[in-house]
Amino acid sequence: MHQAQPLPAAAGAAKGRMAQSDSPAERLHALVLSQLDDDQAQDLVSIPLAGKSSIADHMIIASGRSTRQVAAMAQKLAEKIKQGGFGNARVEGLPAADWVLIDAGDVVVHLFRPEVRSFYNLERMWGFGEEKAAAGGTA
């Protein structure tokens, strides 16, 4: 079973994966990771959904420092996805830019302001971080 992976240095790894990926889903995933890293997204987490959900193959969660950065990252990412030949991504939440959802088909991206991200805690909902809680044990 695959676990979600924090991606502190996603650009180099994503660009390397982009060259060796075969499937369109993997190429899209690599493009998204690379673009978010270029845009200085914080706390990137990629959660593989294949076998867990039919909504997408990957979910990426990232934070921006402000609503302005979140909105700019979302707009640039949607444009890059289109330029990459993956079609028009659907973007929701752009006017407020507290939480922006980008649905690119095989990859779903959630961009948050840090406070909003910690409130909704999507990583925990999808099982990321359970090992930490289990490893802590009980006192």
The burial class, CB within 10 Å (0-12 / 13-18 / 19+), for 17 is: middle
Q: What angle do CA 54, 76, 102 make, to 5 degrees?
A: 20
What spatial distance separates the first Cα and last Cα of the chain, rounded to whole Å?
29
**pLDDT at site 107:** 97
Please tell me the pTM assigned to this model: 0.79
Nearest to 7 by CA among 26, 29, 33: 33
* Predicted confidence pLDDT, tens digits, the chain (139 residues): 344 556 544 444 444 444 445 899 999 999 999 999 999 999 999 999 988 888 999 999 999 999 999 999 999 999 999 999 999 999 999 999 999 999 999 999 999 999 999 999 998 887 765 444 334 444 4
Domain borders along the chain are: 20-127
Q: Specify the CATH number of the domain 20-127.
A: 3.30.460.10
